[in-house]
Amino acid sequence: MLKIRKAQIEDCDFLYSIRNDPKVREVSFSSDAISYETHVNWFKSSLTNPGRRIFVIHDDSSNLGVVRFDMNEPRTEALVSINVSSNSWGKGVGSFALNEGQMMIKSEFPSLVGIIAKVMADNAASVSLFTKNNYKTKILEFYKEVK
């Protein structure tokens, strides 16, 4: 049975392992690995950031994923980021994280009216996740590498 809870300092290493998982990096905006020191500093500041919430998805035996919400300044919109451990892909962890996370962030920030998700166009799993959960395309961005 899947569960969700607020991240704690003890989750630092778990988040680091997901962040630097090569399979996860392939479908992320930033494909570069980060140092442990950089991650620890980011994580500590994230836990005290009043506009950021990080939730850990887990079952009875292990942590499976993370959902993070970054609120805008008037606290009306949040940018969502979901990372699921690659060995838990295809098991509904992302959908659970999105739906349960939405309820938790809305209960903490009643002024919230919208959630924004940014995904790589070739990240089929994320595109499917947000489409299935009634997210609509708002902006298309195109890119061409010039050599």
**Homologous superfamily, domain 3-132:** Gcn5-related N-acetyltransferase (GNAT) (3.40.630.30)
pLDDT digits (tens, 9 = 90+) for 64-92: 999 999 999 999 999 999 999 989 999 99
Q: What mean pLDDT comes out for the span 91-107?
A: 97
- Which ranges of the chain would DSSP assign to H, the alpha helix? 12-19, 22-26, 36-48, 93-108, 124-132
Q: Report the pLDDT value the prediction gives residue 31, as an integer from 0 to 100.
A: 78
Is residue 143 very low, low, confident or very high in pLDDT (cuts 50, 70, 90)? Answer: confident
The predicted-structure confidence for 19-69, as pLDDT tens digits, reads as follows 998 888 787 787 788 999 999 999 999 999 999 999 999 999 999 999 999
Distance of CA 31 to the CA centre of its chain: 15
pLDDT of residue 130: 95
Using pLDDT thresholds of 50, 70 and 90, give the confidence band for residue 5: very high
Q: Residue 36's pLDDT is what?
A: 96
Instruction: For Cα atoms 123, 121, 142, give the angle at the middle one, nearest 5 degrees.
Output: 160
Give the number of other CB atoms < 10 A from CB of residue 95: 15
Predicted local distance difference test score (pLDDT) of residue 23: 86
* Cβ pair 55, 66 in contact under 8 A: yes
Please tell me the predicted confidence (pLDDT) of residue 107.
96
Burial readout 76-89 (b: 16 or more C-beta within 10 A, e: otherwise): ebbebbbbbbeebe
Q: How confident is the model over 127-137, as pLDDT tens digits?
A: 999 999 999 99
pTM of model > 0.85? yes
